[in-house]
């Protein structure tokens, strides 16, 4: 039952985060080009209008859209030497607790960035040069963090699976 749920979820969550990662990579390229166009423009003709705020937006997308894929690839940092010495079952139990906590935390962050987006929308906040509504980037960011939350949920279920199996 749990096995099947995990398999089914993986079929959705993995591709979702793989796509998000592709988006992050493309936006990273755009981030590089924004600066290049801005600098060459400034030296020879005129700087890129709105480069400052576009850079910030691009950075946020690179970070948030890459979070989930980084989790799948085990890219976030952990200190393992202590727990590695525990028995397999204890390790699994520790993981269930930490992933439960951190799944909830990432869900909270998703919610709060979305909530901030709402406040920015109501407050009519805009970027300085281009007048882009700031809530747009907040919404996009919260979507990226939501994908990250999905991967944490998956980690949680896998940890539970390990506890169950070791019984």
133 makes contact with another protein (CB under 8 A): yes
- Per-position DSSP letters for 51-73, written without gaps between them: HHHHHHHHHHHHHHHHHHHHHHT
Compute CA distances 148 → 49, 50, 60, 73, 152, whole Å.
33, 29, 14, 12, 6
Site string for another protein, 85-124 (x = CB under 8 A): ---------xx--x--xx--xx-xx-xxxxxx--x---xx
Residue 88 CB, nearest approach to another protein (Å): 14
Residue 43 within binding range of another protein, rule CB under 8 A: yes
- 19 belongs to the binding site for another protein (CB under 8 A): no
Q: Is 4 in the site for another protein (CB under 8 A)?
A: no
Which of residues 57 and 150 has its CB atom nearest to another protein in the complex? Answer: 57
Spatial contact of 112 and 139, defined as CB atoms under 8 Å apart: no
Among 2, 12, 59, 164, binds another protein (CB under 8 A): 59
CA 30/CA 23 separation, integer angstroms: 10
């Amino acid at each position: 039952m749990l096995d099947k749920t995990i398999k089914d979820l993986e079929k959705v969550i993995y591709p979702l985060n793989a796509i998000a990662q592709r988006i992050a990579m493309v936006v990273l390229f755009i981030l590089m080009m924004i600066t290049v166009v801005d600098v060459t423009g400034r030296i020879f003709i005129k700087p890129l209008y709105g480069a400052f705020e576009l850079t910030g937006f691009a950075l946020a997308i690179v970070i948030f859209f890459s979070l989930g894929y980084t989790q799948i690839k085990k890219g976030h940092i952990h200190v393992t030497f202590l727990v590695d010495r525990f028995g397999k079952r204890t390790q699994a139990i520790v993981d269930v607790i930490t992933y439960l906590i951190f799944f909830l935390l990432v869900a909270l962050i998703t919610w709060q960035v979305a909530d901030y987006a709402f406040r920015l929308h109501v407050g009519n906040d805009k970027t300085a040069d281009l007048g882009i509504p700031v809530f747009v980037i907040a919404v996009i960011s919260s979507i990226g963090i939501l994908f990250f939350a999905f991967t944490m949920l998956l980690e949680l279920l896998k940890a539970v699976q390990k506890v169950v199996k070791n019984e």
